[in-house]
Chains A and B, each alone.
Chain A
Amino acid sequence: MVPQLSWYLALSAVLFTIGVVGVMIKRNVIAMFMCIELMLNAVNLTFVSFSSFFRDTTGQLFVFIVMTVAAAEAAVGLGIIIAIFRNRESLDVDDESTLKL
């Protein structure tokens, strides 16, 4: 049984949905962050699937860009998280609702 494109897309959709739900229900900043990464990688999976399916490398190029952005975002995001933790001694996002330090 040869894997079909729709399988990959279904997997990607599942991963993306897990990421979305995770962002919605998790309060821990680190967990939310990981969920965001999960969504990005779900999208990456879609890109490579289509790339393979259409015999077109453009999708793979996009994956590189997404990975680069995700790396930069991880660096910045983790920096912010550390800054918040140092000030608040907490990683609960619902505590950070005052929009200031």
Chain B
Amino acid sequence: MNTTHLLSLIIFAPLFGAAVNWLVGRRLRNERFIGIIACASVGISTILGFYFAFKPDGALRSTAPVMDHLWTWIQVGTFRADFGLAMDRLSGIYVLFITFVGFLIHVFATGYMHGDPGYYRFFAYLNLFMFAMLTLVLGDNFLLMFVGWEGVGLCSYLLIGYYLDKEEAAPAAKKAFIANRVGDWGFVMGILLLFWMTSGAGAPSISFFDKPGLTSALATVAKMPVDAFAWHTIFAGGITSIAVLLFIGATGKSAQIPLFVWLPDAMAGPTPVSALIHAATMVTAGVYMVVRCSAIFTHAPTAMFIVAIIGAATALFAATIGLAQNDIKKVLAYSTISQLGYMFLACGVGAFIAAIFHVMTHAFFKAQLFLGSGSVIHGMHHEQDMRRMGNLRKYLPVTWLTMCAGWLAICGVPIWAGFFSKDEILWRVWVGGSSLPAGAAKALWFIGIVTALLTAIYMTRLMVMTFWGSERFGQAHDAHAESHADDHHAVTPHESPLSMTVPLIVLAILSTVGGLVGVPYAISSITGGHPENYFEQTLAPVVSSLPAVNNPEVTGSSNLHLLSPAPQPTDGKPAIAPVGEAPGAATAHETPSPQELNEERLLALVSVLIALSGIGAGWFMFQRQPVRTMPQLLENKYYVDEIYDAAIIQPIKVGSREGLWKIFDVGVIDGIIHTIGGAVVKFGRTIRYMQIGFVRAYAAIILAGALIIIGYFAYTGAHVLRYFVR
């Protein structure tokens, strides 16, 4: 374990930036000062992040995480939670792209938010978000992760509701906050159950890592037997319950069915926020958590299956909605939900590394697309409706070219980043994990490939509607030109300033080449050269894998602990002993057989064809007729919001108003209070007549009282008196 206090600067630099901008920036109101503080603080994090990841004994180059124990936070009995940071290979990769993409988006935002009265507030929130997100990723135990988890939720709320004068912003912010609360319930319950379970196993802990005096909770779980595949295990309170509860937390943060409804509405926030929080970083926190807890999930095949189903369903569902949206940011929002579904699908089949790979490439190309859309919106004077765009490549050439890179990446065209990660996921789904029941893998793969087709179509539609075709921003307003003559007249799109185009270009390059770090063996071996998959090799030691074969004889309890590598080695040695001698054990680095390679190559070819046909279909459908009427069902998002409103919100509202308020609050609570108060008043009215002011009446009362007391003692204690009277 190598320890350094410098690691904490990664999280505290943005916090400091937030404080400076909030306290000093609000007085100075100097955009240059605020922008420099905000970007520099994130820049420090970026530099430190890269340093700790790539230095000789850094997080990505040795198996030992870089750790920083700041202080022991909570110590109650056997429970201990540290305020400690740890950067291992998984969190290292997250830190790299969070800080780097975050830095680019900060730079972009200095241009995008130019002239906004809340400039200091925006950057204070954005820096605070970076602090929370990095705390989430670097926290070395569940509780600190939860602090970051709630922190990013808070910043998300603040930034969605950033435009105080925008009507839909405040409800959208509340919706995001409340939907996340539902998920957080699951997360907290999962943590509690995990602590309870590790206590039962004799090593109470909620830490991710082995530390002095603390055993990793994940290692404890990894030593336990795998839960059976059965639905009732969800409610049994065992590992499966923990996994399902944690996944509920992930559905909230990562916008999966059923809690995805907040993410499209979150687009009410400024576009850099959508890019940073609601596409690149925060929404992938759920994937991070699931992968971090891969030791738990690999021991809960039922939960894995649920994750895979929810992921696949979300991917398809959101992609179909994305087809019919007209707001450029809404399309990207549903696209994000869909891609997050892919990531969970990968997690569900045990392809945790592929999921993280997709998180990373998605961070590049989705941030690129969102910033590109931000550039379009900026250039169009805050017009977001794609029906009023068209032929913008003439006016915004840089934005157009860079967005093309993001477009090709998300569609999965070879060489561009999305191809490798998406193809990896689809291949791993096709192979299936041992967690899946027979046949499910192929069905999930089919959903995945349909989603890929839909993705290519709706992204092509977005590009075509925005950048090709006829210019619709002039005449589209004629109909109601009078009504918004003030804010919309004379729309001449203009290219964005350098502070916005440079991040676009950098992200476009990353979207193009970012996938090359994880070229799968099947493809890289065609050309020879370096057939290693660097990405997979980097992450393999920190991620648990499923048993390779679902063989009932092998999955006995004897060697199960070998199948799930203990997650977090801290002493520099490999997490587990080599498993070669264990029959049926997963050997990740084994060279696959030629048939498998050919199958993988064939599937890659299929997904390329699917992507190209999707692009082609989108092109021919929308090139001629960009403003095509889409199915009402899709345009209205399957009426999910309306269904939730009718099924959940209205019953709660009515129940609260009619039941809790009018019956319980008014009847019971107020009833008790009023009854007590009324009784006191009545009693007072009654005994008021004793205080009439006549001294002799008081004397009479005293006498009466004395007589009663004497009488009582005389009656009950006559034998005492008898003692005196001889």
Contact = CB atoms under 8 A, between A and B. Distances in A.
Contacts of A93: 694-696
A98 B693 CA distance: 6
Contacts of B490: none
B703 interface: yes
Interface in B695-717: 695-696, 699-700, 703
Contacts of B700: 24
Q: Which of B699, B700, B703, B725 has the most CB of A within 10 A?
A: B699
A94 interface: yes
Judged by DSSP, the binding face of B is loop
B692 interface: yes
Nearest to B694: A97
Q: Which of A6, A20, A32, A96 has the most CB of B within 10 A?
A: A20
A99 interface: yes
B693 A23 contact: no
Contacts of B691: 99
Contact of B696 (A5, A94, A98, A99): A94
B725 A97 contact: no
A99 to B, nearest CB: 5
Given A20-B703, A24-B703, A6 B725 contact: yes
B699 A97 contact: no
A31 to B, nearest CB: 12
A96 B695 contact: yes
Interface string A58-101: 00000000000000000000000000000000000110111100
Interface in A7-65: 20, 23-24, 27, 32
B696 A24 contact: yes
B713 to A, nearest CB: 16
A58 B691 CA distance: 38
A75 B658 CA distance: 67
B694 A94 contact: yes
A97 B693 contact: yes
Contacts of B703: 20, 24
Nearest to A50: B724
Contacts of A23: 696, 699
A94 B696 CA distance: 8
Contacts of B699: 23-24
Contacts of A98: 693
Interface in B658-698: 691-696
B43 to A, nearest CB: 79
Contacts of B693: 96-99
A9 B691 CA distance: 35
B256 to A, nearest CB: 75
Nearest to A4: B726
A24 B697 CA distance: 8
B335 to A, nearest CB: 83
A5 B724 CA distance: 9
Contacts of A20: 703
Contacts of A6: 725-726
Nearest to B693: A97
A97 B699 CA distance: 14
A99 B725 CA distance: 44
A66 B344 CA distance: 90
A75 B696 CA distance: 21
A63 B725 CA distance: 22
B720 to A, nearest CB: 14
Nearest to B699: A23
Interface string B626-640: 000000000000000
A32 to B, nearest CB: 7
A23 B703 CA distance: 10
A76 to B, nearest CB: 15
A32 B725 contact: no
Nearest to A9: B724
Nearest to A27: B696
A64 to B, nearest CB: 23
A27 B695 CA distance: 9
A72 B692 CA distance: 27
Contacts of B725: 6
Q: Which of B692, B696, B725 has the most CB of A within 10 A?
A: B696
Nearest to A26: B696
Contacts of A27: 696
A23 B696 CA distance: 7
Contacts of B696: 23-24, 27, 93-94
B699 to A, nearest CB: 5
Contacts of A97: 692-694
A19 to B, nearest CB: 11
A20 B726 CA distance: 27
Contacts of A99: 691, 693
A93 B693 CA distance: 9
Contacts of B726: 5-6
A98 B699 CA distance: 17
Interface string B187-230: 00000000000000000000000000000000000000000000
Contacts of A94: 694-696
Nearest to B706: A20
B726 to A, nearest CB: 8
A30 B726 CA distance: 39
A56 to B, nearest CB: 14
A11 to B, nearest CB: 15
A94 B697 CA distance: 10
B21 to A, nearest CB: 66
A72 to B, nearest CB: 20
A101 to B, nearest CB: 13
A99 B693 CA distance: 6
B702 to A, nearest CB: 9
A96 B692 CA distance: 11
A94 B693 CA distance: 8
A16 to B, nearest CB: 11
A89 B726 CA distance: 52
B535 to A, nearest CB: 91
Nearest to B700: A24
A70 B726 CA distance: 32
Q: Shortest 7 CB-CB distances between A and B: which pairs?
A: A97-B693, A93-B695, A99-B693, A23-B699, A97-B694, A24-B699, A20-B703
26 contacts: A5-B726, A6-B725, A6-B726, A20-B703, A23-B696, A23-B699, A24-B696, A24-B699, A24-B700, A24-B703, A27-B696, A32-B695, A93-B694, A93-B695, A93-B696, A94-B694, A94-B695, A94-B696, A96-B693, A96-B695, A97-B692, A97-B693, A97-B694, A98-B693, A99-B691, A99-B693
Given A96-B693, A96-B695, 13 more contacts: A6-B725, A6-B726, A20-B703, A23-B696, A24-B700, A27-B696, A32-B695, A93-B695, A93-B696, A94-B694, A94-B696, A97-B693, A99-B691
Interface of A: 5-6, 20, 23-24, 27, 32, 93-94, 96-99
